Chains A and B, each alone.
Chain A
Amino acid sequence: MITKEEVEHVGWLARIEIDEKESDAYAQKLNSVLDYFEQLDEVDTENVPPTYHVADIMNVFREDVVKPSMPQEDVLSNTENKQEGNFKAPRIM
């Protein structure tokens, strides 16, 4: 069971503002899904390794050769919040 408080905490971890009114509704919907997930507890996974990748490949590399970067104009083209070639954001804390 995920509680209202946990929803708010997870919301902060995920940087999604959730006000108190919403957290109840989220908790309810999330719990119905989490209840469904509970069925995995039935499965015996002792000695079963996890599958992170379906493709059985490894050691994929790139050579240390420089490729062109983007022009600064393109880098900053998707924001209005810029100053002297930098992105501009509110203060950190």
Chain B
Amino acid sequence: MAAWTDISNIKQKIADSSAEEVTAAYIETIGKSKINGFTTVWDEAINTAREIDSNGHDGPLAGIPIAIKENISTKGLSTTCSSKILQGYVPPYDAHVIERLKEAGAVILGKTNMDEFAMGTSTESSCYGPTFNPWDMSRVPGGSSGGSAAVVAAGEAPISLGSDTGGSVRCPAAYCGVVGLKPTYGCISRYGLISYANSLEQIGPLATTVSDIATIMDVVAGYDSRDSTSINRENNYSDALKDDVKGMKIGVPEEYFGEGIDKDVEKSVWDAISKFEDMGATYEKVSMPHTKYALASYYIIAMSEASSNLARFDGTRYGLRAEGENWHVMASKTRAEGFGTEVKRRILLGTYALSAGYHDKYYLKALKVRTLVKQDFDKALANVDVLMAPTMPASAFKIGEKIEDPLSLYLADVNTVPINLAGVPSISVPCGFVDDMPVGLQIIGKQFDENTIIKAAYCFEQNTNHHTRRPREVA
């Protein structure tokens, strides 16, 4: 019964039957899954649903099942970042977003697969094995929140949470044909999100409709005193759901259509922009000259921060512990065994980039380039309301295609990472298909102007039908 659907539809189903039945149906669907999107199904899910049925709940997500990425801490529920090093780790506390979801009545179905420590674009580097794209099982679902996007696309959960450090929500949303939002830095508390690159990442929602994205944002966004980078700012996201983009000014950055972009993807995006014109918006081409350097800047910063963030996994307090004649040897062996190859590469590169003699050449330089990239956004967004570009330069690639070549994998992030460097919000919405694989349109906004991009995405969705197509393989 569970399928590609949205919150309002499920609310109706709960009213017609019960939260318990709805949750049970999802759990049954997950049980038959072929895509390996879930890592754990929570055995408490059904009890939560039952409680909501018996006690009633008037929260905005009462009884609505939701899937949570493996890197968001859930009290009593394994949270491993899809890494061997965190096997067996059960957080004794809930992330801020989990507290908010629980208060809102959401039913946490379980945890979803990801690239190990969110370091990837394909969800292939997970210790649980790869997640498959529901549209084509031979292809990756994107990453790193591949599980969160795939389970929504496959109808195994109506909504989910992912995290986006350099495109990790938007990339899988685009590859799996769902909607995904990377909010402004500081919009959603990171408390409980296991850090990969703190200065870049945000938790973000995934869903089948823009409307659901707004509903989730109304629950999980907002100030949290436990996150020093959380911004105290009131906003109602659902207010943005208006079918009206008349007079909206769109900027189209040429650099996002550079070499390496698939011609058919490019065409889908331009078709989408034309659609906006039809709906009364105007567009102009803009230039963001430092885009080309964003990728290197992003990776240096992300790896540097990661090398320090991942230092705590030393076998002492939780997770894997290897044998060693002294503590330092134990830690080195634990980390050698517990981290996958890509994670180790990034830790080594980050350590190198921060080390004596290289700090200025790599780390400091990257932060200066970050300033220039951010200035590109400030300038471009001074004259337009939103920017539009392809989320990914091509549709989902084949499993195994890029795993051996880190650089080619990194290059896939070329259109998503600049947004994280600048800290601005961006939403990916389905805008077409290339060889039956979904294509994502990325709509980028000004800092804390989520409502404008949500409005644009909503309007596009209301006037197109890309989002109604479902994957054949798993439907």
Q: Which residues of A contact B (CB under 8 A)?
A: 2, 6-7, 10-18, 26, 29-30, 32-34, 36-37, 39-43, 45, 48-55, 57, 60, 62, 70, 74-75, 77-79, 81, 87, 89-93
Contact = CB atoms under 8 A, between A and B. Distances in A.
A90 B330 contact: yes
B379 to A, nearest CB: 15
Nearest to A25: B341
Interface of B: 88-90, 92, 185-186, 199, 225, 228-229, 231, 290, 292-293, 296-297, 299-300, 307, 311, 314, 316-319, 321, 324-333, 335-336, 339, 344-345, 347-349, 351-352, 355, 362, 364-372, 374, 406-407, 410, 421-423, 447
Contacts of B225: 62
A54 B349 contact: no
A78 B317 contact: yes
Contact of A16 (B186, B335, B372): B335
B185 A54 contact: yes
A2 B225 CA distance: 42
Tell me the interface secondary structure of chain B in the complex: helix
B204 to A, nearest CB: 16
A48 B199 contact: no
Contact of B351 (A14, A57, A62): A14
Nearest to B314: A15
Contacts of A54: 185-186, 199, 374, 421-423, 447
Contact of A29 (B328, B345, B423): B345
Contacts of B300: 37, 40
B199 to A, nearest CB: 6
Contact of B326 (A17, A39, A40, A90): A90
B332 A40 contact: no
Given A40-B365, A89-B327, 11 more contacts: A15-B332, A30-B352, A32-B407, A33-B406, A40-B300, A43-B372, A48-B368, A48-B372, A49-B371, A54-B423, A70-B92
Nearest to A58: B228
Nearest to A81: B321
Nearest to A80: B321
